[in-house]
C-alpha cells in the first residue's frame, strides 16, 4: 500500500492586478514564506520543490532554475511541471505522487503568475498549433466563447443563467482577503458589460492577476506532527485529451466527465452532490459554472442553471462551489489550479476564515487548461483506507 499524503499548510499572496513592487522571484518568495509560516516549518525542513507556470506568459525559459532564490530550491531536488492552465492542478497531483512515493516527507509545491507582464491572450494563443490553430485562434476567450455558444444552442441556457455564476463567485470573493476582485456585481452589470466574443462579456471572464501560491505536502506520520487536522489526499485523476482544437467535442467537457468518474470510483463516491461538502473549481468563465458541474455529475445535462438559481452552489447551499470567489474573481493562471487545491484543503482543515463552509469532510478541487483538459484532486478530513 502506498504512503498516505496530506496537505499541511499553504501560503498565498494577496492577488492583485499588478505587483510592481516585486519581480517574479520575489512574488514566489512571498507565497513560499507564508506557507512556511503557516506550517511552522523552515526551508531546512523541506526536502524538495516543485514549481510551475507557463514560459511564454512571463517570457522566462527554465523557470525552475531562474526562481531558485525565491523557491528555496538551492541544493534541493527541484522540478518544473507545465501543462498550461492545468499547471497548478498538475503540480498538486505531482505533490501527491512524489510524497506518496516515500522519497519525500515535506515537499513544497509552488504555482505563480505575473499576468501583468505580458499580453495574456497573445501568450495563450502561442499554446496552440502554429500551423493549424494559431493564426485564427484568439486565446482562451475565443475557445470558451465557442463552448458557450454550443451549450446555449444545445440546452437553451441563457446569458442570464451564466451571469448568475459570476454573481455567486464575486459575492463569495468578498469573504476572501486574498482574492483579486472583491466587489459584488449584479446580474445587470454582468449582462451589460462590454462584449468580448459572443456570447461572452467582460464580466463573464476571469481577470488577469499577479499572484503566487505555495502548498506543503507531507507524508503520513510527518503530517500529523505539523498540523492537527491535515487535509488528506483521497485521490487524483486527470485527462488531457486533444492535440488539435477541432478534435474537441464542444458539447460538454469530456475530460472532466472521464476524470471525475475515475476519481469517484477510486474514492467510492456514488452521489457527488450529497457526498462532497464543497468544491473549488477552475471555472475560468461563467458558463463553465453551468455546464461543467453537469459533467461532474451534480445534475443531468442541461440542468446546471437550475442548480444555480436554486442556490444549491451558494455558500449556505447544499454544495457550495468556490467559496473563495473562484477564478472569475482571481486568476494568476500558473497558480490558479493550485489555489483551488489549497482552498479545498483550507476548508477541510477548518482554516478558511469567513469563507469557511461548516463541517467539511470531503472537498474537490479542479484544474482546467490546455486543449479542454481537466485535473482533479480530492481531499478529506479522514485518512484514506
Partner 1 sequence: MAYDWLQDTEPMVYESRIQVPYSWSVGDTGSRFLTEIRDHKRILGKRCEACESVYVPPRKMCPRCFVDTGPWVEVGPSGTLVAFTRVRYASELHPGHVPPTYGIIRLDGSTTGLVHLLGEVEPNALRPEMRLEPVFREPRTGHILDIAYFRPTHR
Partner 2 sequence: MMDRIAIIGVGQTRQERNKVHETFADMVFEAVQQALEHARIGIREIDNVVTASNDFWDGRTISSMAVNDACGSYDKNISTVEGDGTFAAFYGMTRILSGAYDTTLVVAHCKGSESDAKHITNAMFDPVYLRPLGLDNISTAAMQANRYMTRYGITEEQCALVSVKNHENAYRNPNAHLPMRLTVEDVLRSRLLADPIKLLDASPVSDGACALILARESAAARYTDRPVWVRGVGYAADPYHLGDRDLADCDALVAAAKRAYGMAGIADPAEEIDLVELYDAFSYQELLWTEGLGLCGRGEGGKLAASGATRTDGSIPVNPSGGLLSAHTVTVAGLVRIAEAVLQIRGEADQRQVPAVRTAVAHGVNGPCGQSHCVWVLGA
Partner 3 sequence: MTQTSEPERLVMHSGDAQQPFRYAVGRYGSRFFMALRDEKRLLGIRCPRCRKVYVPPRQVCGPCFERMEELVEVASTGTLVAYTILRFSFLDPETGKQKPVPYGYGFIQLDGSDNAFQHFIEIRDEARIHIGARMRAVFRDTRRGTLGDIRHFEVLA
- Residues contributing to the site for partner 1 (CB under 8 A): 18-24, 26, 29, 42-43, 56, 58-59, 68-70, 72, 74, 114, 116-119, 122-123, 126, 130-131, 134
Residue with Cβ nearer partner 1 (74 or 309): 74
CA dihedral over 269, 271, 274, 278, signed as positive or negative: positive
241 binds partner 3 (CB under 8 A): yes
Q: Name the residue with cell 473562484.
A: 326
Buried b (16+ CB within 10 A) or exposed e, 75-89: ebebbbbbbbbbbbb
Residue with Cβ nearer partner 1 (18 or 225): 18
Backbone angles phi, psi at 225, to 5 degrees: -80, -20
Report the candidate in 28, 18, 15 with the shortest Cα–Cα distance to residue 214: 28
Report the candidate in 214, 204, 201 with the shortest Cα–Cα distance to residue 342: 214
Whether residue 75 contacts residue 47, with contact meaning beta carbons closer than 8 Å, is answered with no
Least distance in Å: CB of 87 to partner 2? 9
Least distance in Å: CB of 64 to partner 2? 7
192 binds, among partner 1, partner 2, partner 3, none (CB under 5 to 8 A by kind): none
142 binds, among partner 1, partner 3, partner 2, none (CB under 5 to 8 A by kind): partner 3
125 binds partner 3 (CB under 8 A): yes
Q: How many residues bind partner 3 (CB under 8 A)?
A: 45
C-alpha cell at 381: 478530513
Do β-strands 48-52 and 106-114 pair in parallel, antiparallel, or remain unpaired? parallel
116 DSSP assignment: G
User: Which residue from 41, 46, 81, 278 is in contact with partner 2, where contact means CB under 8 A?
Assistant: 81
Residue with Cβ nearer partner 2 (33 or 193): 33
Taking CB under 8 A as the rule, which mask of x and - marks residues 135-174 in contact with partner 3? xxxxx-xx--xxxxxx--x---------------------
DSSP reduced 3-state for 370? coil
Backbone angles phi, psi at 243, to 5 degrees: -100, -40
Taking CB under 8 A as the rule, which mask of x and - marks residues 183-202 in contact with partner 3? -----------xxxxxxx--
Query: Which region, judged by CB under 8 A, interacts with partner 2, from 160-168, 185-193, 206-214, 238-246?
Result: 238-246
CA angle 348, 353, 358 (to 5 degrees): 50
Residue 87 makes CB contacts below 8 A (sequence gap 6+) with 52, 53, 54, 81, 111, 333, 334, 337, 367, 369
Least distance in Å: CB of 62 to partner 2? 5
User: Which residue from 17, 186, 243, 382 is in contact with partner 3, where contact means CB under 8 A?
Assistant: 243
250 binds partner 3 (CB under 8 A): yes
Whether residue 50 contacts residue 97, with contact meaning beta carbons closer than 8 Å, is answered with no
Least distance in Å: CB of 141 to partner 1? 16
Q: Name the residue with cell 447551499.
A: 317
Binding site for partner 3 (CB under 8 A): 20-21, 56, 59, 119, 121-123, 125-126, 130-139, 141-142, 145-150, 153, 194-200, 241-248, 250
Amino acid at each position: 500500500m502506498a504512503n498516505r499524503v496530506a496537505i499541511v499548510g499553504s501560503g498565498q499572496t494577496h492577488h492583485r492586478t499588478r505587483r510592481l513592487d516585486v519581480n517574479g522571484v520575489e512574488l514566489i518568495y512571498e507565497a513560499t514564506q507564508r506557507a512556511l509560516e503557516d506550517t511552522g516549518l523552515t526551508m531546512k525542513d523541506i526536502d524538495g520543490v516543485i514549481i510551475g507556470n507557463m514560459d511564454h506568459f512571463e517570457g522566462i525559459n527554465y523557470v525552475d532554475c531562474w526562481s531558485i532564490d525565491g523557491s528555496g530550491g538551492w541544493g534541493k531536488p527541484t522540478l518544473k511541471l507545465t501543462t498550461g492552465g492545468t499547471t497548478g492542478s498538475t503540480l498538486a497531483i505531482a505533490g501527491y505522487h512524489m510524497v506518496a512515493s516515500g522519497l519525500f516527507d515535506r515537499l513544497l509545491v509552488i504555482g505563480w503568475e505575473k499576468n501583468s507582464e505580458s499580453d495574456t491572450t497573445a501568450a495563450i494563443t502561442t499554446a496552440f498549433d502554429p500551423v493549424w490553430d494559431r493564426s485564427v485562434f484568439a486565446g482562451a476567450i475565443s475557445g470558451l466563447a465557442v463552448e458557450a455558444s454550443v451549450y446555449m444552442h444545445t440546452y437553451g441556457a441563457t446569458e442570464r443563467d451564466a451571469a448568475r455564476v459570476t454573481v455567486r463567485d464575486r459575492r463569495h470573493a468578498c469573504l476572501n482577503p486574498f482574492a483579486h476582485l472583491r466587489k459584488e456585481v449584479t446580474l445587470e452589470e454582468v449582462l451589460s458589460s462590454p462584449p468580448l466574443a459572443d456570447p461572452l462579456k467582460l464580466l463573464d471572464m476571469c481577470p488577469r492577476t499577479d499572484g503566487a501560491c505555495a502548498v506543503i505536502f507531507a507524508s503520513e506520520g510527518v503530517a500529523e506532527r505539523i498540523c492537527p487536522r491535515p487535509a488528506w489526499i483521497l485521490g487524483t485523476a486527470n485527462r488531457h485529451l486533444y492535440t488539435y482544437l477541432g478534435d474537441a467535442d464542444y458539447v460538454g467537457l469530456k475530460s472532466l466527465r472521464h476524470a471525475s468518474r475515475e476519481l469517484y470510483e477510486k474514492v467510492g463516491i456514488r452521489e457527488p452532490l450529497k457526498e462532497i461538502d464543497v468544491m473549488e473549481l477552475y471555472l475560468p468563465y461563467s458558463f463553465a459554472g453551468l455546464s461543467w458541474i453537469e459533467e461532474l455529475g451534480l445534475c443531468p445535462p442541461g440542468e446546471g442553471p437550475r442548480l444555480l438559481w436554486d442556490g444549491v452552489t451558494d455558500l449556505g447551499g447544499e454544495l457550495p462551489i468556490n467559496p473563495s470567489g473562484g477564478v472569475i474573481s482571481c486568476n494568476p493562471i500558473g497558480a490558479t489550479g493550485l489555489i483551488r487545491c489549497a482552498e479545498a484543503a483550507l476548508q477541510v482543515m477548518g482554516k478558511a476564515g469567513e469563507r469557511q463552509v461548516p463541517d467539511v469532510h470531503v472537498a474537490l478541487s479542479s484544474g482546467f487548461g490546455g486543449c479542454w483538459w481537466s485535473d482533479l484532486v480530492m481531499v478529506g478530513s479522514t485518512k484514506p483506507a
